[in-house]
Structure 1
Amino acid sequence: MSRSGWIGAAVAAVVLGLAGCSAPAERAGGEPAAAGSAAPTTAGENSPPAADEVRSSENVRLVTNVPLSAPFDGEESWGTDLAFQDKYAYVGNYDGFTIHDISDPTKPVTVSRTLCPGGQNDISVSGNLLFLSIDDPRTDETCASKPAQGFGENAWEGIRIFDISDKAHPKYVSSVATACGSHTHSMVPGKDGQTLYLYVSSPGPEPESTTCTPPHNTISIVEVPLADPARSRVVNEPVVFNTAQKDADAGFGGCHDVTAYPEKNLAAGACFGDGVLLDISDPVRPVVLQQINDEENFSIWHSATFNDDATKVVFTDELGGGTAATCDSGTPRTKGANAIYDLKDNRLTLRSYFKIPREQTSTENCVAHNGSLIPVKGKDLMVQAWYQGGISIWDFTDSDNPREIGYFERGPLSGTGLGGSWSAYYYNGYIYSSDITKGLDVIEINDPLTDPAKQVKLDAFNVQTQVSYGGR
Structure 2
Amino acid sequence: MRLTRLVAVAAAATLATTLGGIGIAVAGDGRDKSGTQLGVDEIGYSRTVQHLSNTPPVGSFAGSTGSDIAFQDHYAFAGNYNGFVIYDISNPKRPRTVAQVSCPGSQNDVTVNGNLLYLSTDSSRSDDSCSSTTASATEKSSWEGIKIFDIKNKSAPRYLKAVETKCGSHTHSLLPGKGKNKGNDYLYVSSYSPNATFPDCQPPHDIISIVEVPTKNPAASRVVATPNLFPDGGNPGGTGPTGAGYSATTGCHDITVYPKKDLAAGACMGDGIIMDVKDPKAPTVIERVSDTENFAFWHSATFNNDATKVVFTDELGGGGAATCNTTVGPTRGANAIYDLSKRNKLTFKSYYKIPRNQFDTENCVAHNGSLVPVKGRDVMVQSWYQGGTSVWDFTDSENPKEIGYFERGPISKTTLVGGGTWSSYYYNGFVYSNDLVKGFDVLKLKDTSLKPAESVHLDQLNPQSQPVYRTR
Amino acid at match of 1:116: C
Query: C-alpha displacement at 1:99, in angstroms?
Result: 0.1
Task: Provide closer, same or farther for how the CA distance between residues 114 and 120 of structure 1 changes in structure 2, counting only shifts above 3 A.
Answer: same
Q: Compute the displacement of 1:416 (Å).
A: 5.2
After TM superposition, give the deviation of residue 44 of structure 1 in Å. Answer: 4.7
Alpha-carbon offset, residue 417 of structure 1: 2.7
- Output the CA distance in 1 between the equivalents of 2:156 and 2:371: 32
**Residue matched to 1:423:** 423
Q: Which residue of 2 aligns with 1:87?
A: 74
1:110-125 counterparts in 2 under 5 A? 110-125=97-112
Write out aligned runs for 1:70-149 (5 A).
70-73=59-62, 75=63, 77-149=64-136
C-alpha spacing 1:439/1:250, structure 2 compared with 1 (3 Å): closer
- Contact 1:302/1:318, CA 8 A, preserved across alignment: yes
Q: What secondary structure, in the 3-state scheme, does the structure 2 residue paired with 1:156 have?
A: coil
After superposition, where does 1:261-300 map in structure 2 within 5 Å? Answer: 261-300=258-297
Deviation at 1:71, TM superposition (A): 2.3
Assess if the C-alpha contact under 8 Å between 2:32 and 2:46 holds in 1. Answer: no
Alignment-derived partner of residue 245 in structure 1: 235
Cα 1:150–1:179 change in 2 (3 A) is closer
Matched with 1:432 is 432
Query: What is the root-mean-square deviation in Å for CA atoms of aligned residues?
Result: 1.6
Cα pair 2:390 2:406 within 8 Å, conserved: yes
**1:205/1:251 contact within 8 Å kept:** no
Contact 1:247 1:253 in 2 (8 A): no
Match of 2:371 in 1: 373
Cα distance in 1 for partners of 2:432, 2:248 equals: 37
Whole-Å Cα distance in 2 between the matches of residues 240 and 450 of structure 1? 38
CA deviations 1:18-69 (Å, max 9, x no partner) are xxxxxxxxxxxxxxxxxxxxxxx97554752000000100111110000000
Are 2:140 and 1:150 aligned? no
Q: CA deviation at 1:448?
A: 2.2
Distance in structure 2 (CA, Å) of the matches to 1:381 and 1:104: 25
- TM-score, normalised to structure 1, is 0.89
* Separation in 1, partners of 2:247, 2:334: 23
Equivalent AA in structure 2 for residue 362 of structure 1: D
Distance 2:294 2:50 in 1: 33
Q: Tell me, what secondary structure is at the counterpart of 2:122?
A: strand
Q: What percent of counterpart residues are identical?
A: 55
Equivalent in the alignment of 2:215: 226
Q: Which runs of 5+ in 2 are unaligned?
A: 1-29, 239-245
**Aligned partners of 1:137 and 1:151 also within 8 Å:** no
- The answer as to 2:401 corresponding to 1:412 is no
2:194 aligned partner: 205
Contact 2:210-2:226 within 8 A present in 1 as well? yes
Equivalent residue of 1:138, what SS? coil
The C-alpha deviation readout for 1:428-449, integer Å capped at 9, x for no partner, is: 0000000000000000111122
2:395 and 2:192 mapped to 1: Cα distance?
32
Deviations 1:164-206 (A, max 9, x none): 1111111110110000000000011112421110000011212
Counterpart position of 1:321? 318
Alignment partners' CA distance in 1, 2:109 and 2:234: 29
Distance 1:45 1:177 in 2: 44
Q: For residue 247 of structure 1, what is the amino acid of its counterpart?
A: G
Which residue in 1 is equivalent to 2:327?
330
Shift of 1:388: 0.3
3-state SS of paired residue (1:324): coil
In structure 2, the CA distance between the partners of 1:459 and 1:361, relative to structure 1 (3 Å rule), is same
Q: Could you say if the C-alpha distance between residues 43 and 145 of structure 1 is closer, same or farther in structure 2, counting changes exceeding 3 Å?
A: closer
What is the CA-CA distance between 1:252 and the residue it aligns to? 5.8
Partner of 1:355: 353
Equivalent residue for 1:343, pick from 340, 344, 363: 340
Q: TM-score, normalised by structure 2?
A: 0.89
| 3-state SS of paired residue (2:318) | helix
1:163–1:171: 8 Å Cα contact kept in structure 2? yes
